[in-house]
Amino acid sequence: MLSSFSSISTAVSFPDAEEDCVLLWKSLDALRLQNNLAKERGDPEYTFYDGPPFATGLPHYGHILAGTIKDTVTRYAAQTGHYVSRRAGWDCHGLPVEYEIDQQLNITRREQVLEMGIDTYNKHCRGIVTRYTGEWETTVNRLGRWIDFRDDYKTMDPTFMESVWWVFKTLFDKGLVYQGYKVMPFSTACGTPLSNFEAGLNYKEDTVDPAVVVSFPLVDDSDVSLIAWTTTPWTLPSNLALCVHPDLQYVKVKDLKTGKVMVMAEERLKQVWPQMGGKKWKKENEKELFERLDKYKGSDLVGWKYKPLFPYFSSFPGNTFWRVLSDTYVTSDSGTGIVHQAPAFGEDDYRVCLAAGVIEKGGEIPCPVDANGIFTEDCADFKGRYVKEADDDICALLKSAGRLVQKDQIKHSYPFCWRSDTPLIYKAVPSWFVKVEEIKDRLLANNEKTYWVPSHVKEVRFRNWLRDARDWAVSRNRFWGTPIPVWASESFDEVVCVGSVEELRELSGVSVSDLHRETVDKIEIPSKKNPGTTLKRIDEVFDCWFESGSMPYAQKHYPFENAEEFEGQFPADFIAEGLDQTRGWFYTLMVLSTALFDKPAFKNLIVNGLVLAGDGKKMSKRLKNYPDPTLVINKYGADALRMYLINSPVVRAEPLKFQEEGVLGVVKDVFLPWFNAFRFLMQNVERWEGEAGGRFAPDKGKVASSTNSIDVWLTARTQGLIKFVHQEMSAYRLYTVMPELVAFVTELTNWYVRLNRDRLKGTDEDAETGLQVLYDTLLDVTVLMSPFTPFISEYFYQHLRKLQPSYADREEGGRVNPPLPGKSDSVHLLRVPAYDPSLLNDTAVQGFKVLQKIIKLGRDAREKRLISVKMPIACMVVVLPLTAAEILEDVRTKLADYVKSELNSWDVRFVTREEEHEWVKISLLPDLKVLGKKLGKKMSGVKKALVAMTHEEAKKAIADGSAEVGGVTIDFKSEVLSKYTYAKEGDERWEGAVHSDGDVVVAIDTKEDPALVAAGKCREVITNIQKLRKSAGLEMADKVEAFYKEVGAAMGGTLAACIKSNADTFVKKFDGMVPLPEELASSSKIYASATVDIGASKVVISIRPPSVSVASGVGEGPRMFLATVDVKDLERGMALKCNIDGEDMELSEGKEWFLNATDRAVAEKVI
């Protein structure tokens, strides 16, 4: 049975074809089938972790990008002999969920949650977690990503949460957990800390706050004061230290008006004397304001002690308060260059004071403000006052004590609570910490064991983050999350950390099936230290980052289940996420895996950049500054979007400004040419089978044994591509793979198919060999591309497989091992091809590169003289001065005919080394960077001498390596820049072009003669006939006859003479058909016609179905009879018998009638 591919449309809809693939994969249960076959074969496992996204919104381009990278790498792994489990995961806890519920239920205060009950609140949270999972699954599947949604994991699953407990318990037992303080944005109206995300929701630009400068007299000299500036006077009662920049210049000055002596940053004197910042200020004016007494470097001030503003904490146990510290976070942009430190109310304050020992890690810190922002009894003068309302009274008290230097106001941007619309404060809240600083050396060491793409993210950004890492606050004062499994007495003198459901049952006697707060908060554990009392669970839940960092263990319910399986697969072979995860998921994975196992959690990592809107701004639903992903997919197809994303800078962790035109470009520049090459192959296979009378059977032996130079090139190029892809994918460099794949598809379609089009349309053995090579290449590229463009690869494979002998076994063997092209039901069940070293041929590949350069330069030379490629030229000259001898020989002997054909040249001459001086000249210039210092004033003379050297002199100097030029010995390898140039510039007959590499020079003969003009006109006729065939929608096998009428010319017009002299060209091109004068047309039916310009003439060209052509002189009766005969029923040499007007007649082919008009024209000597 012969093949049938006539159903392949000329205008493919890639989105529609992709929808068919989705249905195919669903019917196959393709991911499970792929994995089951891998397990059956015993393929080694390739471990992949998918970072869990929140399912509270729909996928955006960032998700699509990361998902495409993950899918590409895991598909490649699966198709190179690995079992790859790909479980979907969902981040279910934390702020995104609570935020939606708070808005939905109009919750603005923590007390509202407690009033409704945590169980009710968490029930609402649980209800929306999976709201969008269905939409996610639909979108992800439509994108072609294979991931298992049926065997997914959720961070709210009891098994997942229990493993999180185990992680924390293990760290607790290792002494890596402690309770301390973390300064966080705090809503005094709601009485709860907020995340940074929440704090950023409601900034108000024109917030007015006090701005005061306060003095701090020195203990050793009370006449001298350090002065500090603050916009939060309410924090001054909690001042414990002052901070300076170690490298700033500080001065001691005397205010000539008040007599007070102050120390401040020199750059900030204008804070006290604003006139110093005016345009009219002159330095000599300062003697009217103050006197300079001394100057210091910031580091000189460290350790100075000063008198506290208030006495509230002077009896604090073991205090070392009220001294000068230093840190580089201090700036000279505002204030006095001295920053007041209240560690209970500032993140930097807390960090600096902790590092200096002013406060202790895990210890108490002075904090005279309660959860509602009210001063406590620790601050007796302001007890019961709301902090913001106490600002003026605090300033008044400081003024009466002589400590207020300056009071002003500032208008600035300030965060407000998104729930209550009240100003936020920053406040130290009790938190549970993991001791990251203690394992910092191990983190850095484990980071070195990982491989990142691009490497600089690991070596700079991530390494610096690890180097500067601080202890990690893992607790949050929330409701919907994994409860921290710590039970403690009221005084915290007895603390128990629980690591499992079973341990909780043993300690409390209570069995649970859920671990959320509504279940575990009411469980109490009998005290062992104080019998008769109980331990209660602490209030906090885990930060959701702790959960996502635990996913390698928790997704498998380790160590309670799958222990051996997990330990054999850890660390993961591969993960991938965006650049923002260097401080997120990548970090938490590394911290927990190092703390637990002293290993990194992953071996290989691809970091992607951010996808921005086309204007370079962040994509915004509100601004609508980007196209909807669903619309883009429906318009161009998911493969086009996938390829656009992973063939961009974004896979090198650089930003991408998304342009819809780029997705369209993939369709136009890659997919359509690829499809056209595929369709061309399938049509010609069907045509070849019909004309040769046999079945086309793919034969790799014929491919390997072909001696056709272009076949050899394409086969070698394909094998080189396969080798390159394996090499680069093993290094996870998608950014090098995709450009090479795109370039190859371009070469396949624009070079191999175009150069071989006529050959591949033949019926002989050479035509079949060409089809074999094209088929083999397309199949290899289809399978090779399948991890990258899964849909279009599947589409091509489903057609290409039909030619394979094993296709007959598809009913029984389509879904079983071993996978084979043909029988296997999906391209994704096949192995990505391995390269064949015996088919690599660098000479052929390099020779073809030279051919491409020659053709490009020939076109360039034509364009310079405005000579259309349709117009033949008599001769062209090629100079290859730097090409290796074996490559030059390959081009000269095997590729010259392709040069002539592509450039429409009747002859091509390759110039020998001895003749090259007639066509090229070596131009020399001194390398100024190298020779500048060496020659000095001699440079001018040497340059003139270099420019004046002849071609042969320059050639000899380069070959010798050095020569004396202008009286100086010059190294021609390192001190001279050389370039081949065209030596016949300005020549009237010859036009040249030089490649930018200087290794190829081409010249064309521009002289015209009548024979060239005639051939050029015939080429234009051929082009227009092809256009008419296309416009008529004809298939390749459809036969036509072409006719022309030269407007205003007789039958023997100028075009007729041109066609007659070039008849052989038409015979070869159109399988024996030659365009003829319209007077010779028999059929009145016209497929298509057009009036075109051929040379200086208007010509009407038409194409018609073949019909019987009646010889000149045949009478009207026989002519009418022959008009009724269908040419399809006739054969060469046939005689037709008929009776016309009572007379029996015999009309013979070749005498009274012909099978086509061309046969008649030959017989009657029209051509």
Answer yes or no: 472 catalytic: no
- Say how far apart CA 1116 and CA 939 lie, in whole Å: 92
Q: Is residue 621 annotated as a catalytic residue, yes or no?
A: yes
Is 906 in the active site? Answer: no
Among candidate residues 91, 391, 471, 776, the one labeled active-site is 91
Residue type, 936: G
Distance CA 312, CA 236 (A): 11
26, 174, 617, 618: the catalytic one is: 618
What's the one-letter identity of residue 652?
A: R
Cα 548 from chain centre: 24
Q: Per the structure block, which two tokens stand in for 873?
A: 């030229």
Task: Identify whether 1010 is preceded by a cis peptide bond (ω within 30 of 0).
Answer: no
Q: ∠ CA(138), CA(139), CA(140), 5° rounding?
A: 95
The helix (H) or strand (E) run that includes residue 131 is: none
Say how far apart CA 456 and CA 479 lie, in whole Å.
39
Cα–Cα distances in angstroms (integers) from residue 858 to residues 361, 765, 864, 998, in the given order? 76, 32, 10, 15
> Exactly one of 165, 585, 674, 990 is catalytic; which is it?
585
In b/e form, how buried is each residue of 201-240, taking b as 16+ CB within 10 angstroms?
ebeeeeeebbbbbbbbbbeeeeebbbbbbbbbbbbbbbbb
Nearest to 482 by CA among 197, 125, 177: 125
DSSP string, 993-1012: EE-TTSS-EEEEE----HHH
The secondary element (H helix, E strand) that includes residue 878 is strand 876-879
The one-letter amino acid at 841:
N
CB atoms within 10 A of CB 404: 18
The 3-state DSSP class for residue 881 equals coil
Q: What secondary structure does DSSP assign to 1109-1124, as a single string? A: EEPTT--HHHHHHHHT
The most distant pair of C-alpha atoms in the chain lies apart, rounded to whole Å, by 145
- Please tell me whether residue 533 adopts helix, strand or coil conformation: coil
Which is the catalytic residue, given 25, 34, 52, 146? Answer: 52
Catalytic residue among 229, 545, 674, 751: 545
928's tokens: 């100024």
91: enclosing H helix or E strand: none
Alpha-carbon distance of 389 to 396, in angstroms, equals 13
- Strand 323-326 relative to strand 241-244, pairing: parallel
First to last CA, the chain: 41
Q: Roughly what angle, to the nearest 10 degrees, separates helices 440-447 and 585-597?
A: 110
State the angle between helix axes of 734-747 and 638-646 in degrees (0 to 180), rounded to the nearest 10. Answer: 120
Q: Say what angle helices 629-636 and 638-646 make with each other, to 10 degrees.
A: 110
Q: Encode 364-380: b = buried (16+ Cβ within 10 Å), e = exposed.
A: ebbbbbebebbbeeebe
Q: Which of 26, 295, 621, 700 is catalytic?
A: 621
Among 243, 260, 244, CA closest to 252: 260
Residue among 34, 79, 581, 846 flagged as catalytic: 581
- The C-alpha atoms of residue 447 and residue 443 are separated, in whole angstroms, by 6
Phi and psi angles of residue 1081, each rounded to the nearest 5 degrees, phi first: -75, 135
Is 884 in contact with 852 (CB distance < 8 Å)?
Answer: no
DSSP conformational letter for 1086: -
Task: For 649-713, give the DSSP string.
Answer: GGGGT--EE--HHHHHHHIIIIIHHHHHHHHHHHHHHHHHHHHH-S-----HHHHHH---HHHHH
Catalytic residue positions, numbered: 52, 91, 545, 581, 585, 618, 621
